[in-house]
Amino acid sequence: QKEVEQDPGPLSVPEGAIVSLNCTYSNSAFQYFMWYRQYSRKGPELLMYTYSSGNKEDGRFTAQVDKSSKYISLFIRDSQPSDSATYLCAMRSSGGSNYKLTFGKGTLLTVNP
């Protein structure tokens, strides 16, 4: 079993739809959870950063972490064509100097006008 599982999609939705992206993981040591957005041929851009369980909202984006289920989600409200990109979940454990991220494979999202 891979440490982080993410459905690669592709996922295609109409403009204005609510998008739900998620990842599951197996390592209970993961404490920090991130979502990155990567446009084609560009570096990943940090969208959301969450520590431990709970919800975090930033504009149209909401990140949820359920550590008991080892499940994280990213919701995008009122999706726009400019949201079309690959979304990568990433996570890491805490402590020491280990800041290595473990990534999901990424989900390719297309928002159609």
- Could you say whether residue 44 binds other proteins (CB under 8 A)? yes
Residue 111 CB contacts under 8 Å (≥ 6 apart), including other chains: 13, 14, 15, 17, 19, 79, 80, 81, 82, 83, 84
Q: Concatenate the DSSP letters of all residues of 51-76 into one string.
A: ESSEEEEETTEEEEEETTTTEEEEEE
Q: Which residue, 68 or 99, has its beta carbon nearer to other proteins?
A: 99
Question: Is position 79 an interface residue for other proteins (rule: CB under 8 A)?
Answer: no
Cis ω before 10 (30° cut-off from 0): yes
Does 106 interact with other proteins (rule: CB under 8 A)?
yes
Nearer Cβ to other proteins, position 19 or 104?
104
Q: Per CB under 8 A, does 42 bind other proteins?
A: yes
Tokens of 41: 């041929």
Residue with token string 């020491």: 96
* Cβ proximity to other proteins, 60 vs 105, nearer residue: 105
Contact between 103 and other proteins (CB under 8 A)? yes
> Can you give the binding site for other proteins, defined by CB under 8 A?
32, 34, 36, 41-46, 49, 88, 97, 99-101, 103-106, 108
